[in-house]
Structure 1
C-alpha cells in the first residue's frame, strides 16, 4: 500500500507526540523537534510497511512533508 501525505503527517506527528493537525506539510520538521534519529526510525517504518526506497540523506536534506512525499512515492 502506497503512502499518502496524510499518512506521512500522521506518522511524523505520532513520532513527535503531537496531533497531526499541528504538523504543517510545508514547514521544516526540525523546527517541530524532529531529529536524525526520528527520521531514521520513520524511514525504517516506511521501508518495512510501504517498501519505500528513499534514503536518509534525501529526507534529511529537505525535512518537510511536501518535500518527502515524492521521494516516498506518496499519492
Structure 2
C-alpha cells in the first residue's frame, strides 16, 4: 500500500474520531487531540506501508503538511 497525504489525513481523522474534512493540512494535530501514543500507532501503521520515518521525525512538526514534507524529503534522498 502506498501512503498518500489524503490517506494520512484519513488515518489521523479515524484515530481522533473526526471527519477528515475537518482536519486542515496545516492544523496542529496535537491541538485536535492527537497524543504521542496515537502518533506511535499511526507511525507503526505507516511504516508497514513503507514510510521510513521514526517518531522523532514526526514529532518535529505536528501538521500533515510537515509530515508529508518529511516523507517527500526522505524519498528524494533515497
Taking structure 2 as the reference length, what is the TM-score of the superposition?
A: 0.85
Gaps of 5+ in 1: none
User: What's the CA shift string for 1:15-46, capped at 9, x where partnerless?
Assistant: 00110001111111000000100110000001
| Distance (whole Å) between structure 2 residues aligned to residue 19 and residue 66 of structure 1 | 18
Greater RCO (Cα-Cα under 8 Å, separation 6 or more): 1
Matches within 5 A, 1:1-75: 1-48=1-48, 50-73=49-72
Gaps of 5+ in 2: 73-78
| Aligned twin of 2:75 | none
Aligned residues: 72
Larger radius of gyration: 2
Provide the alpha-carbon RMSD of the alignment. Answer: 1.1
User: More helix by proportion, 1 or 2?
Assistant: 1
